[in-house]
Chains A and B, each alone.
Chain A
Amino acid sequence: MIGRKKKQAAAEAPSETNGNVGTVATRDLPPAPQRTVTRFGHGSRVPGWDDAVDLTKDPAEVPDPATTPVDAGLRAEIEAHMAKYPDFRSAAIPALAAAQRFHGWCSPEAIEQAACVMRLTPGYLISVASFYDMLETQPVGRHRVYVCTNISCSLCGADELMARLLEETAGDPDFNVRSFECLGACDIAPMASVNDIYVGPISLDDVPALVEQIRAGVPPLPNKQLHLRKSTDPNAAS
């Protein structure tokens, strides 16, 4: 706070003193920037801050199978996951992932259908879905491009890569380009997981080709995929 007051004083100083006080006037100050605060339609700075919960409504119950149609394949997949565990609830993440693959994101319908098969409330599954980064609770583009912008990758230029990728895919609703926690491939930094395929190191010049390949639905940067990489350890060669 102290620092800011000082600066505000300094900001007003040049116009008043106008070169009379040497120490202040020698600093050629740029015009003061406009301070803007993003606000949402309802006036709050936090989304959903004052959206009230509808207290007259009962909490959603376990969906009724009679009124909740579920695709047979999706149902079979979720039931197969449930059968693997001693407690069927363990299948929550695999079930949500399956529903997301089917619907594109964890939409209310997707959650409802997974909840119907698992005999859980939608609320339970929403609590799980909202915790994990790979489960999308908003509609997203179908091409997943996760760019690792964590420490090792950013030391190798991941932030520039991210900016370039965003620029190249700007306005294309098919793309879901996002920065991600460390993806565990710092040896090929800077890297990205393109529709689950790890590629790297990606130079800025690779970006247009990469985006074209994703659009065309062909394997991304075929000679820079992780599985081609030999170990760096001198004893690894057979």
Chain B
Amino acid sequence: MSQAILFKGIDEPGLNTIDVYVKRGGYEQLRRVLTTMTPEAVTEELLASGLRGRGGAGFPTGKKVSFIPAANVDKYLVCNADESEPGTFKDRELMQKSPHMLIEGLVIGAYAAGATRSFIYIRGEYVEQADIIDAAMLEAQEAGFIGENLLGSGFSLSLVLHRGAGAYICGEETGLLDSLEGKRGNPRLKPPFPANQGLYQGPTLINNVETLATIPHILAMGGAEYAKIGTETSAGTKLVSVSGNVRRPGNYEVELGTPSREIIYGLAGGPPEGREVKMWFPGGSSSPVLEPKDLDLPYDFNTLQKAGSMLGSGAIIVVDDSVAVVSVALKLAKFYRHESCGKCTPCREGTRWTVSMLERVDAGLATPMDLDIMASVQEQIIGNCLCVLGDAMAMPIGSMVKKFRAEFEAHIEAARDRNPYGGDDPGGRDGLDPVLVQGAADA
């Protein structure tokens, strides 16, 4: 069931201060790494641990570190604390309660990658958490864990906390880099990948908060030992944010490979009295939805991928049977329309037209043929943009239309009966968006 590595005793009062953290054995691994290990040895441990990125893509962390070229240039480490995927709130709890765990992992990660400057890009809405990290950074600096010549090892590292200003796209790594450089957060064309040309055109390692926070624990128990937790291809534990129609929403740390039913029903208490699970998002709102029959799938990267979805950021959103699937789809599509940066046409136009079509479905103006068109729009977004924001809308919406097509059709019929004149065509006379008309582009 739940296994504690990151969350062990995280509610301890004062854990956000360096004194309590050190008393619990904090910064010991950093001390050991800086005084006895080479960067290559740290990378070896990470490779052996089988740790995969916890931000969404699930790329092996050790491999990512090893991609950073050894050349003698300015290298950077960026911690992605933007956590903007709807349904995800694990990094928030981690940063709020144990900021030093993140800082220790970040310094070790920078040492392995040879980075001399590091940044934490935190989303602008997390004001409280940013203040906590600010205070923790000062403490770490005073204790000599950030700065020049750390613990006499000759390794120096600066750390800057950068607060964003509210944009979903800045959680995408290249959008984040542009935002950190003081521009609009538009994603970049890849390749070149950030490992070669990232922040300020220098080699850059970008990792999620949870990934970095796990590093000290891996070094403490040894990479090979860590790899024994979880499944063969998905090692370790994962913080899972469960939300939506469940009785005990919250963050739970589980061993990867735990049956999903155990997380949703066992830990989070399942849907409210008298309700059933209708569908669930296994990895944030960008993951294709799964049905109740998939509840017994083990919760790990490969199984969910095989089931046609993904583990993503580890955010389970449960939707119960009292909710209309069309309203969920419309909510999602509106969100992605608002957050599309507008750089790539398939995403910019695709999100807008999907909203228009879903509004037609909701108003009873659509026909079953519209559903086919909508599905084909989703197919044409996927893989045709610089980043995956468009895909992030297309995958769940496409999967909803596919899996709940009967309900979409029934919704059209019911809306037509309820509203025989169709009301105001939400698409407007020229297909213009009513949101634009009112001049309030709210999600």
> Measuring CB to CB, which residues of chain A are less than 8 angstroms from any residue of chain B?
2-4, 7, 10-11, 27, 29-30, 32-33, 35-38, 40, 45-47, 84-87, 89-94, 96-97, 127-128, 131-135, 146, 149-152, 154-156, 178-187, 189, 193, 196-198, 226-227, 230-238
Contact = CB atoms under 8 A, between A and B. Distances in A.
A181 B420 contact: no
A40 B85 CA distance: 36
A37 B436 CA distance: 12
- Nearest first, the 7 A-B pairs at minimum CB distance are A232-B250, A186-B243, A235-B4, A133-B166, A92-B182, A132-B165, A238-B12
B184 interface: yes
Given A146-B125, A181-B166, A93 B442 contact: no
Contacts of B72: none
Contacts of A149: 331, 443
Nearest to B281: A151
Most buried by A among B127, B164, B243, B420: B243
Nearest to B245: A155
B183 A152 contact: no
A175 to B, nearest CB: 15
A97 B165 contact: yes
Contact of A151 (B117, B267, B332, B425): B332
Nearest to A88: B182
Contacts of B185: 131-132
A227 B249 CA distance: 16
Nearest to A35: B424
B2 interface: yes
Given A3-B422, A10-B420, A150-B443, A184 B126 contact: yes
Given A184-B123, A186-B241, A236 B7 contact: yes
9 contacts: A87-B200, A89-B181, A97-B163, A131-B184, A132-B164, A151-B317, A182-B335, A186-B249, A187-B89
B160 interface: yes
A155 B319 contact: yes
B242 to A, nearest CB: 8
B179 interface: yes
Contact of A94 (B162, B253, B421, B438): B162
A37 B317 contact: no
Interface of B: 2-4, 7-13, 74, 83-89, 91-93, 96-97, 117, 123-128, 160, 162-168, 179-185, 200, 241, 243-245, 248-253, 267-268, 281, 285, 315, 317, 319, 323, 328, 331-332, 335, 338-339, 341, 364-367, 416, 420-425, 428-429, 432, 434, 436-439, 442-443
B356 to A, nearest CB: 13
A231 B96 CA distance: 11
Contact of A150 (B86, B167, B366): B86
- Most chain B Cβ neighbours within 10 Å, of A37, A131, A234: A131
B71 to A, nearest CB: 17
A24 to B, nearest CB: 11
A177 to B, nearest CB: 11
A90 B181 contact: yes
A238 B7 CA distance: 10
B50 to A, nearest CB: 22
- Of B89, B167, B281, B339, the most chain A CB neighbours within 10 A belong to B89
A181 B84 contact: yes
A180 B126 CA distance: 13
Contact of B125 (A45, A128, A193): A193
Contacts of B315: 186
B395 to A, nearest CB: 14
B442 A185 contact: no
A182 B241 CA distance: 13
Given A27-B420, A151-B331, A47 B92 contact: no
Nearest to A2: B367
Contacts of A92: 182-183
B363 to A, nearest CB: 10
A226 to B, nearest CB: 7
A3 B366 contact: yes
Given A86-B117, A226-B128, A184 B89 contact: yes
